[in-house]
Amino acid sequence: MYREMTLSGWGRVRSGNALVARPERVRDVYRLFETAGGRQICARGAGRSYGDCGLNSGGILAHTERLARILSFNEQSGEIACEPGVTFERLLRVFVPLGWLVPVSPGTAFATIGGAVGNDVHGKNHEHTGSFGQHILEMDVMTPDGSTHTIGPRRRPEWFRATVGGIGLTGVLTRIVFRMMRVPGPCVLVTRKRVDDLDSLFSGLENAGGAAYSVAWIDALARGKFRGRGILETADPLAGAHGMARKPGPAIAMDFPNFALNRLSVAAFNAVYFHKASPIGRTAPCHYGDFLYPLDRIGNWNRIYGRRGFHQFQCVVPYTEGFRAISSLLEEIAARGAASFLAVLKRMGPQRAGYLSFPMDGYTLAVDFPNQAGTAALHSRLARVVTDHGGRNYLAKDALLSRGDFERMYPELHSFRDAAAQMDPDGQMGSDIDRRLGIRQR
């Protein structure tokens, strides 16, 4: 049975009508394929992707909320098996007290493990720990013919590499096995330090290479000699501190009016945020839940951007091009005065697990823009800078990329297409982003 629903991505810019099924067991997924009747299918987890990769207008979405069980856990090796709808939040609550953590986590704990596979997510520790897909031992994927295949890095590796990062276009996952990481306590020890310009921020990130986690927040509205000022955050696991609890936070109960976010209000927010951080660095313990997911403390924070929604532009540029590329991106953004908090800069390592995985050895920049006149034009200028420097954009965040840019950014696309065509020869898997970018190209 389906429920007809209009759903949107987390950025609330793209939305679409779909028949939503909510399988509760593996058998229901089988039935879903059996009765799809020519409509395309895509799985959807928590709906935390920003653009249109969790949408399937006119098709069927398999909402994985109820396929959310932990199937096994080995206390010696940390090997865990679970269903795709299990969230990072749940794993945090169950396993951090036992001394285990999911090794790679995106910026929200509400995301699902299935979504983490589909987007081959990375975290603030990518440089050292790699992407989520690299921790997978094996997984079961049901293809549209109703058969279940166990795939892994050494078991049907092409299918595995197409499914990790393949944004749900190869089948529906029913079981994922990966390895958790031991942690000595529920906290990290975080150092936050104010940095006055882009040069120092880059050298700060370079020198932070020894820290398990490192990330920089940039004031994307600062111009002139302040351009690139920001806050450098580094962290390492902390032993003990078992009594430390997570901090509670507010929830955004309604949409902010569109005018609430403008150049002035955001510049003021950014200036206050910047000056609150210590110039010499301050160190304090912080619970993993608060450190990994700072925005989760504000329920429905996407409402701050109002009903018009927002775009997040996230790109990665190669290491050698890093400083020049990031400088020109920041210049473009500041010149347009595009209001943005939460510009985030990170060093990224080369590790990636899938053909369409995002990471590359270099620097990644993520910037939010409210959806307004000129945003699309700015986006395409920024995408041009990214392609000129040999970088790529993150599909999990995207709603605006062009087909041409997409193909230039993902050189392993043909390998993805070949494997996906074997897994789903009749093209029964599909989604809005797939049709917009011609990902499967049937």
Which residues lie near other proteins (CB under 8 A)?
1-4, 20, 22, 24-28, 66, 69-73, 83, 94
In the bound complex, what is the minimum distance in angstroms from residue 299's beta carbon to other proteins?
Answer: 17
In our burial notation (b when 16+ CB lie closer than 10 A, e otherwise), range 28-65 reads ebbebbeebeeebbbbbbbbbbbbbbbbbbebbbbbbe
Comparing CA positions, the residue from 106, 103, 104, 97 lying closest to residue 77 is 103
Give the rounded distance of the alpha carbon of 224 from its chain centre.
31
172 strand-pairing partners: 142
Closest contact distance (angstroms) between CB of 70 and other proteins is 5
> CB of 238: closest distance to other proteins in angstroms?
25
186, two tokens: 């529920």
Q: By C-beta, is 97 or 249 nearer to other proteins?
A: 97
Q: Any idea which residue has 């620097």 for tokens?
A: 363
Question: Of 74 and 380, which CB lies nearer to other proteins in the complex structure?
Answer: 74
Say if strands 3-8 and 15-21 run parallel, antiparallel, or are unpaired: antiparallel
Which residues, 6+ apart, have CB-to-CB distance to 210 below 8 Å? Answer: none
Report angle CA 37, 40, 46 to the nearest 5 degrees. Answer: 125
Q: 92 vs 367, which CB is nearer to other proteins?
A: 92
Instruction: Kindly state the smallest distance separating residue 72's Cβ from other proteins, in Å.
Output: 6
Q: How far is the CB of 5 from other proteins (least distance, A)?
A: 9
| One-letter identity of residue 194 | R
Select from 208, 207, 286 the least CA-distant residue to 245: 286
Nearer to other proteins, 28 or 332 (CB): 28
Question: In the complex with other proteins, which residue's Cβ is closer, 166 or 186?
Answer: 186
In sequence order, which ranges of 248-351 are alpha helices (DSSP H)?
A: 263-276, 288-292, 322-336
Task: Report the nearest approach of other proteins to the CB of residue 387 (Å).
Answer: 43
Minimal distance, residue 22 CB to other proteins, in Å: 5
For 245-389, strand residue ranges (E) read 282-287, 310-318, 343-348, 362-370
Choose between 24 and 388: whose C-beta lies nearer to other proteins: 24
CB of 335 to other proteins, least distance (A): 49
How far apart, in whole angstroms, are the C-alpha atoms of residue 158 and residue 248? 43
Strand partners, 218: 230, 343
Name the residue nearer to other proteins (CB basis): 34 or 418.
Answer: 34
Question: Least CB distance from residue 385 to other proteins, whole Å?
Answer: 45
Nearest residue (CB) to other proteins, 94 versus 277: 94
Q: Is 268 exposed, middle or buried (0-12, 13-18, 19+ CB in 10 A)?
A: exposed
User: What's at 137, amino acid-wise?
Assistant: L
Give, to the nearest 10 degrees, the angle between helix 375-388 and helix 322-336: 170
- For residue 3, the tally of other CB atoms under 10 A from its CB is 11
| Least spacing, CB of residue 297 vs other proteins, in Å | 23
Of residues 71 and 377, the one with the C-beta less far from other proteins: 71
Say if CB 401 and CB 416 are below 8 A apart. Answer: no
Q: Among residues 66 and 307, whose Cβ is nearest to other proteins?
A: 66
